[in-house]
């Protein structure tokens, strides 16, 4: 057992309360023009600090769940808990990761204020379209950015976020993307003379705008470009990115790779370089085959069917394509020296998983003998200007022969 765990008290080792549902008051929602896809007010989950020493420490964790990419798919999404606050359960928690109440693997935040930022806008809190859109007999709304501002206002006014001294912004999948997109903005929104530490640690949100090996060109990139357009997301993505890419290329700023070089918040990237969602929905994505509502993912025809048990894949072309994707991921991460900035870091592995940090991957995967959660903890607890090399854990290279996986802690993916 790691030394840090030995310091935990018996009470701290006990399971912490699950975050409870908080629906934004309608008057507050109206003041910001905040609406879920179905018009209901936005909502979040909140668990207050259970230890006085953690009273001013916060983790803001963006929930994932993909995106809707046109009016029809957004209307479908509006009927679910990803598009309506009326569908949400009374409480919610993740078993592992920075937002969990498991003190054995999340000693830094299990007793702190924990917030699950549940998005019901279908666009990672970026939309800023005026007026509703009629789809059949329904009206849907693209007000994600207003939703985020309304939620933060409630957290500051009613739950103590305005007194925060330490804040971590995190999230998984589409929520991981939201953490990249909104970290700098959130830092400005919670800024006060009391705030000492503000960092970000997105999980599985670094999606590449990559050509599809399954045909169809930049399928995922085209989908996100559509989201940026019909949701009017220009006001909900970082201004620094928009200034960098210039006119006509603003859609690049709804991707992590696009905003990454301009981020000012010290950030710890949690990702697989061969992320399972990206293998099916980016690397082999198709413009015609439906997956979850809105997105288009390939149904993995031969030879890609072996990805369901990829250690059995033939070397060519599947493993070669995965190896190339790994290299492309690292290139995007290192772009313009972005991964080398003081205070930054990352745990990038080769397990074929997606948001595994919310589950067993968090305390099961290692790089160089360092467990995932311990690498993340060391980065969080360390100086905000520490050399990136101190907190950077790189993925191994896929093997030259079967079973290909180079990290034994991943198991048989």
Query: Using one digit for the tens of pLDDT, what is the confidence trace for 165-181?
Result: 999 999 999 999 999 99
Those residues with Cβ within 8 angstroms of residue 166's Cβ, 6 or more apart along the chain or in another chain: 56, 57, 58, 195, 196, 197, 198
**β partners of residue 275:** none
Where residue 285 falls among pLDDT bands split at 50, 70, 90? confident
At residue 290, the pLDDT reads 46
At residue 7, the pLDDT reads 38
Boundaries of domain holding 29:
3-410
At residue 12, the pLDDT reads 47
Where residue 413 falls among pLDDT bands split at 50, 70, 90? low
Tokens (6 digits) for 145: 């950015």
Q: What is the mean pLDDT of residues 332-360?
A: 92
What digits encode the pLDDT tens for the residues 150-159?
A: 999 999 999 9
What is the overall mean pLDDT for the chain?
Answer: 90
At residue 287, the pLDDT reads 61
C-beta separation of 95 from 151 below 8 A: no
At residue 133, the pLDDT reads 97
Rounded CA Rg of the chain:
20
What digits encode the pLDDT tens for the residues 7-38?
A: 344 444 567 999 999 999 999 999 999 999 99
Q: What is the mean pLDDT of residues 243-269?
A: 95
Which of the two residues, 205 and 411, has the higher pLDDT score? Answer: 205
At residue 3, the pLDDT reads 39
d(CA 253, CA 65): 19
At residue 211, the pLDDT reads 85
Nearest CA among 358, 223, 361 for reference residue 286: 223
**Burial degree of 332 (CB within 10 A; 0-12, 13-18, 19+):** buried
Where residue 379 falls among pLDDT bands split at 50, 70, 90? very high
Residue 205 sits at the vertex; the CA angle it makes with 202 and 206, to the nearest 5 degrees, is 105
C-beta separation of 123 from 71 below 8 A: no
C-beta separation of 297 from 285 below 8 A: yes
Which of the two residues, 373 and 313, has the higher pLDDT score? Answer: 373
**Which range has highest mean pLDDT (243-252, 290-299, 301-310, 354-363)?**
243-252
**β partners of residue 134:** 139
Evaluate if pTM is beyond 0.85. yes
Total domains present in the chain: 1
Which of the two residues, 352 and 148, has the higher pLDDT score? Answer: 148
Q: What is the mean pLDDT of residues 198-213?
A: 92
What digits encode the pLDDT tens for the residues 73-107?
A: 999 999 999 999 999 999 999 988 999 999 988 99
């Amino acid at each position: 057992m790691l030394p840090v765990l030995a310091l935990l008290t018996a009470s701290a080792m006990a399971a912490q309360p699950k975050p409870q549902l908080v629906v934004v008051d309608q008057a507050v929602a109206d003041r910001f023009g905040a609406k879920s896809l179905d018009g209901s007010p936005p909502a979040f989950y909140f668990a207050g600090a259970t230890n006085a020493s953690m009273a001013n420490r916060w983790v803001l964790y963006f929930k994932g769940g993909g995106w809707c990419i046109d009016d029809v798919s957004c209307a479908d999404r509006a009927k679910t808990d990803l598009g309506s606050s009326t569908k949400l359960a009374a409480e919610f928690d993740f078993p592992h990761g920075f937002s969990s109440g498991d003190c054995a693997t999340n000693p830094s935040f299990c007793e702190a204020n924990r917030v699950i930022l549940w998005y019901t806008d279908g666009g990672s809190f970026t939309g800023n379209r005026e007026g509703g859109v009629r789809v059949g007999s329904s009206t849907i709304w693209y007000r994600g950015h207003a939703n985020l501002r309304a939620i933060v206002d409630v957290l500051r006014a009613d739950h103590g976020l305005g007194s925060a001294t330490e804040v971590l912004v995190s999230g998984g999948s589409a929520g991981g993307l939201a953490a990249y997109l909104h970290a700098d903005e959130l830092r400005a929104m919670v800024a006060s003379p009391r705030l000492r530490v503000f960092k970000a640690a997105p999980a599985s949100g670094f999606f590449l705008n990559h050509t599809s090996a399954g045909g169809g060109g930049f399928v995922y990139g085209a989908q996100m470009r559509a989201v940026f357009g019909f949701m009017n997301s220009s006001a909900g993505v970082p201004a620094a990115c928009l200034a960098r890419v210039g006119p006509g290329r603003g859609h690049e700023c709804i991707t992590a790779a696009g905003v990454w070089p301009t981020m000012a918040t010290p950030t710890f990237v949690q990702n697989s370089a061969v992320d399972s969602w990206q293998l099916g929905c980016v690397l082999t994505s198709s413009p015609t085959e439906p997956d979850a509502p809105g997105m288009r993912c390939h149904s993995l025809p031969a030879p890609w069917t072996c990805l369901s048990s990829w250690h059995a894949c033939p070397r060519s072309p599947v493993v070669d394509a995965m190896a190339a994707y790994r290299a492309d991921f690292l290139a995007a991460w290192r772009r313009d020296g972005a991964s080398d900035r003081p205070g930054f870091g990352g745990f990038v592995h080769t397990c074929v998983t997606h948001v595994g940090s919310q589950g067993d991957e968090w305390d099961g995967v290692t790089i160089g003998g360092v467990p995932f959660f311990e690498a993340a903890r060391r980065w969080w607890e360390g100086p905000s200007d520490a050399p990136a090399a101190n907190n950077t854990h790189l993925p191994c290279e896929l093997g030259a022969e079967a079973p290909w996986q180079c990290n034994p802690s991943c198991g048989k993916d």
